[in-house]
Structure 1
Amino acid sequence: MKNRDWYTSLVSGLLFPLQERLKDHSTVSVRKALELSQWWNRERLENLQLLKLRHLLAEAEAHVPYYRRIFAEIGFKAAEVSSLADLARLPLLDKPAIRADTEALKSQKARSLRSFNTGGSSGEPLTFYIGRERVSHDVAAKWRATRWWDVDIGDPEMVVWGSPIELGAQDRLRMLRDRLLRTRLFPAFEMSEQKLDRFLGELRAAPPRMFFGYPSALSHIARHAQARGQRMDDLGINVAFVTSERLYDEQRQQISKTFGCPVANGYGGRDAGFIAHECPEGGMHITAEDIIVEIVDRQGVPLPCGEAGEIIVTHLSTAEFPFIRYRTGDIGILDDRICRCGRGLPLLREIQGRSTDFVVAQDGTVMHGLALIYILRELPQISHFKIIQESLNLIHIWVVSGAKLDREITAKIEEEFKARLGQSVEVLIEETTEIPAEKSGKFRYVISKIAGA
């Protein structure tokens, strides 16, 4: 690690490891192991995955009522698993199944489970449980990826986040911990112009070495700085970590240009775990030591590298509450190349977004929401927008513009949308002064309410 000051060394080498030990987490030893295994070749990594998969399935068969029943119903025996391909014999696990059988998914050996929940794209809460082993592995994987960018725990960090789970837990102990770790929090759903001006002042007064937040929030801050004519590329920020939403090229460019730093994309979630992270060479590396990623078609059949389908995750460190062939609802593509960085960790070529980021034309054609996003982004009169596909026959567009849109502009929007979705689609355009983010603080440009979109 370069450019580490004495305080960062104190935090990463002593204070944070002490915290993890007090929590009975194995984070430090796991991270050290991950920093060795990341350089292994694919065959060695796959052998490790198979070893851990056999253990996970044996634990599930013996101690998890849900999987004991599933295995018996399909005649599956963990002891007979001889390759990673055998995983495809098991059914997919989805959110409705977890909601219906939450208690049956708990291992009878579990002793340290904590309840977590996530709203998901539909806003319907999903409650699940996580044990100490999984927490240790997820934190270690994130820590490893952070260090790829020459920053470490203890370096000054600005977190732009919006989850009520984090923001609601800012008690005195957590505030003290954040102060010791040099982490500051800026709420992503409270970004009025006045608060953004104050935030830019705080950045200038005490620049962080790294950002962490939603791409929509960081790009919004960057655009505000640009509009105010405030230079932010001389603060010495090393990297902007973004996660939890699709990262669009325009957002990457805006953040990087404004803050004078690279943008590192991360992919994962509370439910699925720390799935993948971008390295400085641009490779989106899967955390293969803990995560098996499959890409499947609409029938759940695995697809080869290069083909787009739903991202299915098996988390190998979840024996206490197994996530086996879990449906993320995201669409992606695997890559079979080796990254220029030399790491053997497999790659995600693309993460195209959630299945609800796709829209359906009247003739049944499924297309990514980008097909509609680009129509609005081409119009300089529009500063913000949100597209909601209510049905096959109705598309609702919220727009924010500097001046009222004239008939020529709205007619152009309607024409372009109908050309993609169908001539009889009703295009409802509503102008507003502000488009609020989701309750979590995330922002989604496109939402389709059509099942299976």
Structure 2
Amino acid sequence: MSVPAWFARNVFRLQEAAMHRPTFPMLEELERTQWLSRDDMLDYQTGHLNVLLQTALAHSPWHASRLHTAGLVETVRAGAVLPSDLSRLPTMDKRDARENVEQLVWRDVPGGVFPYTTGGSSGEPLIFHFGRARQAADAAGRLRARRWWGVEPGEREVYLWGAPVELSKTDRIKTLRDRLVNQLLLNAFDMSPACMDEYLEAMRAWNPKAIYGYASSLALLAAHAEARGTRLRLPALRVVSTTGEPLFPHQRELIERVFGVPVSVEYGARDAGLMALQSPDGVLLQMCETHLIEVLDAAGNPVEEGEAVITSLVSAAQPFIRYRTGDVVRHSGRNDPGGRGLTVLDTVVGRQTDFIVAADGRIMHALAVIYVLRAVPGVGQFKLIQHAIDRLEVQVVPDTYWNDEARAAVIRGLQARLGTKLALDIRLLDAIAPEASGKHRYVVSHVPVHGGLAQVGR
């Protein structure tokens, strides 16, 4: 049973205050700053960048050493660094963050420092640390974006998210807390047909105003509902928000068809934070108040489409300065149709591990092989794992139409894309397990992508 929205909102405020997280003051700030002009937003970012660099200089020896080498120390002390000056610093990556953690973390940061672990879906899990400012920024950014869609804090939401199979006493307390703030958590780690039937019924009873979860898990639930012939009646629902991974066009179309509302994409990462959210105008708006995003090629040169390299302005506890995310994004020169001063990203193309490398060196987006599998009758669910440039594992959950011709069609289609010498291992399974993070990825490549992504085929 839900509680009145005003009650849930007040419980949420009290919780954030008790945890010393300035979520609601930051929300008020974001409501104001989103309407800044581009020039005023740049001034805002510049001020916060200098505070971050001064903090890093004082409390993160690893960053301090790099600032000294780049000849930026006096400029940092004077508070005169411009975002364009960041190019004088080398980039950092997950290995840097992992191997130099004690030289990075400011353990006496006001409000405390908290360890966290990335999901490791890139093959490189990372233990990192964040403070209250980073937590509040992520929550406030999400609350602001919900308001774009007409969803106020405290209104009913469903989260299709990772959850433990067995609930401990602490987990039961969290479940009670979730209900008091009108959040219903459904376990993305358990997506069996029986569980998904229960999830659909729980959604009907809860009648949420927003649904939030992994893109692949929401697409899987929508496909299950459609296969069951289930009609979802959720009259309060305004938006389905996907996160954690790129949303493919066929997933968006499926989710919107089944749930009957628009899909809003959220772009973020556990280590890098919440970076961009989609507005009702269909554009992906950067969290300019909390992140600087550079788009670089493998050599570190600015490009229109390339790797997102971020500087988190709310990462004082463990500064992420010019941090290579491994995500491929495309910049846009457009302005927000809604009149905000937030930068528009054209799209998040995918992770570098979401690309397939053909035998002739061509780099192909995951969709190139996804469309092959989707077109074959008999393929219920699938996952492709590229172990080597000439070896591909194809996991298939077959339906009643699977036969020898379906198998042959899969082989023909993939070899047409990736080369006739491609060795294919087709494995028929009863179910495909999610990643450790709970996500259901269609394509995973263990073949390194060299030479940047300028030659990406879409």
TM tier, smaller: over 0.9
Q: 2:169, 2:144 → 1: CA distance?
A: 25
**1:115/1:129 contact within 8 Å kept:** yes
Q: What root-mean-square deviation, in Å, do the aligned CA atoms of Structure 1 and Structure 2 show?
A: 2.1
Q: For 2:72, which of 72, 76, 94 is the aligned residue?
A: 76
CA offsets 1:188-227 (integer angstroms, 9 cap, x no match):
1212222222222222233222111112111222222222
**Long gaps (5+) in structure 2:** 451-458
Query: Displacement, 1:234?
Result: 4.6
- Report the 3-state secondary structure (helix = DSSP H, G, I; strand = E; otherwise coil) of the residue aligned with 2:141: helix
**1:235/1:259 contact within 8 Å kept:** no
CA offsets 1:70-100 (integer angstroms, 9 cap, x no match):
2223333261654311111111111111111
Query: Displacement, 1:273?
Result: 0.6
- Report the 3-state secondary structure (helix = DSSP H, G, I; strand = E; otherwise coil) of the residue aligned with 2:322: strand
Q: 2:403, 2:3 → 1: CA distance?
A: 59
Query: Displacement, 1:431?
Result: 1.9
CA offsets 1:274-310 (integer angstroms, 9 cap, x no match):
100001111100000110011110112222xxx2101
Q: For 1:340, which of 333, 337, 340 is the aligned residue?
A: 337
Judging changes above 3 Å, is the alpha-carbon distance between structure 1 residues 393 and 167 closer, same or farther for their aligned structure 2 residues?
farther
Counterpart for residue 102 of structure 1: 101
Counterpart for residue 365 of structure 1: 362
Q: For 1:25, which of 3, 21, 45 is the aligned residue?
A: 21
Q: Does 1:413 align with 2:410?
A: yes
Query: Displacement, 1:369?
Result: 1.2
- Report the 3-state secondary structure (helix = DSSP H, G, I; strand = E; otherwise coil) of the residue aligned with 1:323: coil
Counterpart for residue 149 of structure 1: 149
Q: 1:234, 1:146 → 2: CA distance?
A: 17
- Report the 3-state secondary structure (helix = DSSP H, G, I; strand = E; otherwise coil) of the residue aligned with 1:428: strand
**2:219/2:254 contact within 8 Å kept:** yes
Judging changes above 3 Å, is the alpha-carbon distance between structure 1 residues 388 and 96 closer, same or farther for their aligned structure 2 residues?
same
Residue type at the aligned position of 2:248: Y
Counterpart for residue 44 of structure 2: 48
Counterpart for residue 86 of structure 1: 85
Q: 2:221, 2:200 → 1: CA distance?
A: 8
Q: 1:89, 1:394 → 2: CA distance?
A: 41
Judging changes above 3 Å, is the alpha-carbon distance between structure 1 residues 167 and 371 closer, same or farther for their aligned structure 2 residues?
farther
Q: 1:169, 1:369 → 2: CA distance?
A: 41
Residue type at the aligned position of 1:95: K
Q: 1:84, 1:371 → 2: CA distance?
A: 37
Counterpart for residue 327 of structure 2: 330
Q: For 1:37, which of 27, 33, 36 is the aligned residue?
A: 33
Moved more, 271-280 or 175-184: 175-184
Query: Displacement, 1:406?
Result: 3.5
Residue type at the aligned position of 2:49: L
The percent identity for this pair of structures is: 38
Q: 2:37, 2:210 → 1: CA distance?
A: 30
- Report the 3-state secondary structure (helix = DSSP H, G, I; strand = E; otherwise coil) of the residue aligned with 1:337: coil
**2:356/2:445 contact within 8 Å kept:** yes
Q: What aligned pairs does 1:435-450 form with structure 2 within 5 A after superposition?
A: 435-450=432-447
- Report the 3-state secondary structure (helix = DSSP H, G, I; strand = E; otherwise coil) of the residue aligned with 1:324: coil
Residue type at the aligned position of 1:55: V
**1:118/1:127 contact within 8 Å kept:** yes
Residue type at the aligned position of 1:26: P
Query: What is the number of residues matched between the two proteins?
Result: 445
**1:64/1:108 contact within 8 Å kept:** no
Query: Displacement, 1:409?
Result: 3.1
Judging changes above 3 Å, is the alpha-carbon distance between structure 1 residues 423 and 6 closer, same or farther for their aligned structure 2 residues?
closer
Counterpart for residue 374 of structure 2: 377
Counterpart for residue 455 of structure 2: none
Q: Does 1:230 align with 2:227?
A: no
Q: 2:319, 2:270 → 1: CA distance?
A: 14
Query: TM-score w.r.t. structure 1 length?
Result: 0.93
Q: 1:89, 1:206 → 2: CA distance?
A: 52
Query: TM-score w.r.t. structure 2 length?
Result: 0.92
Judging changes above 3 Å, is the alpha-carbon distance between structure 1 residues 174 and 195 closer, same or farther for their aligned structure 2 residues?
same
Q: 1:166, 1:210 → 2: CA distance?
A: 26
Q: 2:297, 2:166 → 1: CA distance?
A: 35
- Report the 3-state secondary structure (helix = DSSP H, G, I; strand = E; otherwise coil) of the residue aligned with 1:413: helix
Judging changes above 3 Å, is the alpha-carbon distance between structure 1 residues 281 and 167 closer, same or farther for their aligned structure 2 residues?
farther
Moved more, 368-377 or 77-86: 77-86
